[in-house]
Amino acid sequence: MINRRLMLGVMAGLGATVLPVRVFAASSTGLKPGSPDDQGKALNRLLQKASRTGEQILLSPGTYIVSGVDLPSRANLAGIPGATRLLYGGAGSFLNASNANQVRLSGLVIDGASQPLTGKALVEGTNVSELVIDDCDFTASTKNAIALYGCDGRIERNRIQRAADAGIFASQSSGLEIAANHVHDCGNGGILVFRDAQGPDGTIVTNNRVENIRADGGGTGQNGNGINVFRAGNVLVANNVLNKCAFSAVRANAGNNVQITGNNCRDSGEMALYSEFAFEGAVISNNIVDGAASGISMVNFDGGGRMGTCTGNVVRNLSAIGPYPADAPGFGIGISVEADISVTANLIENAALYGIKLGWGPYLRNVVATGNVIRQAGTGIYVSMVDGVGSAIITDNIIEKALRGGIIGHRWMDAVTGDLARQNASGNSRLIVERNILS
């Protein structure tokens, strides 16, 4: 619980004002800043009263210790940005909205005080038809900062830091937009868009800044991602800036029709941009990746991953060193694809292992690599040539300074051809290699 003596020493005793239609005096509500007592019950009474009349509650600057706050339908709770602080009192949940509509929080500092949470987050929403959280500060959560289930609405312009788990966790969403937030210094994830089972979701994640995301929970990819889409289809992840994520900047797992476009990704610990496992219809385009263990991956044909385009990306400075010992073939790959995918007009530079990897073992079908520029790679283009692979076209690429060759056929890790870029033909009717320039 909050230390009463400490709170008395650091908080000014200011009056509470409720706007705009009716002024609720502190004496009539029992709610006032600076009190060392938990005022959750008083805030609940005020919220219920304002909900019945549709009025907004505007809290004066100061600190209010509260817990167990239930946000009813038509709740509209506002403060002065950076000055009105709700501090978790440690009794039950913090702020919770369930089976409600038109719930709005704005201009509040929501501080978990690093105390154990009964619920899943500082703010929880379940089946809220229109939830808006705008221009708020979140800090010091021992779990998530925001956790939503079955919600519609907007989470925008918030500043979220020091969540032990994720900044924003949204599951089973219906028309949710997550935009222009700054999420940083979180323990296991930045922005998570999940579903219980694979299906359409439609969440829009745009113009956020996500940085310094750790993977305190361990694992090989379930934690440590800036933006993580899991089983959620028809999701748009666009124009975000993502720096220093322990694993991926953007990771989509089993998400159909996911678009990852226009993101700027720097210093990712593992694969910067991922579309993996049981996906169909992914688009990864016009992103910048600078610094990662590997760049872009659209793989797992063995698990149903197929169909997409990888176009117009700049991918550079890829290391062979990752956050765990890698399975074969290893880290240091610019772009990896396996089935029913076109790789066009990308620029890859400084890839320690392969610039572009087409297939792996028998997992290659209907891939095209054309019009790409690859500079300073271990091998320019890897193409799988084990028995039973499908068709591939490799044409009109420029490959410069590839240490082990421009285009090399492989059986798993073993090179089994000479440089097909120099031969300008493969001798295989299912593999076309033409008009590539090697220097």
Task: Read off the pLDDT of residues 368-395 as tens digits, 9 standing for 90 and up.
Answer: 999 999 999 999 999 999 999 999 999 9
Are the CB atoms for 273 and 255 separated by under 8 Å?
no
Predicted local confidence at residue 29, as pLDDT: 57
The first and second tokens of residue 419, run together, are 């440089």
The encoded tokens of residue 381 equal: 């283009």
pLDDT of residue 21: 40
Contact criterion met (CB below 8 Å) for 394 and 407: yes
Closest alpha carbon to 341 in 419, 276, 250? 276
Ranges of beta strands (E only) in 180-224 are 182-186, 189-200, 204-206, 209-213
Spatial distance between the Cα atoms of 139 and 341, rounded to a whole number of angstroms: 42
CB 59 within 8 A of CB 78: yes
Name residue 124's beta-bridge partners. 96, 147
pLDDT, one tens digit per residue, over 332-341 is 999 999 999 9
DSSP 163: B
Model pLDDT, residue 429: 83
140, 114 Cβ separation under 8 angstroms:
yes
Which residues of the chain carry a pLDDT beneath 70?
1-30
Q: Rounded to 5 degrees, what angle do the CA atoms 113, 69, 64 make? A: 50
The size of the chain, in residues, is 439
